[in-house]
Structure 1
């Protein structure tokens, strides 16, 4: 027998939008530096006092929100 799958209408549309959404943070100390996310070892670059991360990158977002040297950028 073939398996049937059920998907809610909003599920498929929400996932790609979240994956492409970017969050921008302002660096209150430096205008240029490289950050290393401890949990993953990934690097982020601060350029002109700002850094952008994908909203789906939970480790990077959590790290930036927890660090007093960064604040969410006002758009």
Structure 2
């Protein structure tokens, strides 16, 4: 028989994980489209959904691409 899990520990882990994800991303608003696929110079793709795109703060290629194009506006977090 399996032991019941402590729900508070699971919730704490989920909260910590979501906080870490939020803190390590930068969000941009697409001023032209609500949905599209971007092709980066290194042949990766990024998806714009609902007019926004979030990228990791360590993804230099994506950050440079988004900052270089006027149709993307960095959102304050």
Same fold (TM over 0.5): yes
Question: Corresponding residue for 2:30?
Answer: 27
1:59 partner SS: helix
Runs of 4 or more, structure 1, over 4 Å off, are none
Structure showing the higher helix proportion among its residues: 2
Deviations 1:16-50 (A, max 9, x none): x7xx7000000000000000101x11110000000
Q: What is the distance in 2 between the residues matched to 1:63 and 1:45?
A: 13
User: Are 2:9 and 1:42 equivalent residues in the alignment?
Assistant: no
Runs of 5+ in structure 2 lacking a partner? 1-19
> 1:43-58 maps to which residues of 2 (within 5 A)?
43-58=45-60
How many residues align structurally?
Answer: 56
- SS of alignment partner, residue 62 of structure 1: helix
Question: Cα deviations across residues 3-27 of structure 1 (Å, max 9, x unaligned)?
Answer: xxxxxxxxxxxxxx7xx70000000
**Aligned counterparts of 1:41 and 1:52: Cα–Cα separation in 2:** 18
CA RMSD of aligned residues (A): 1.5
Normalising by structure 2, we get a TM-score of 0.68
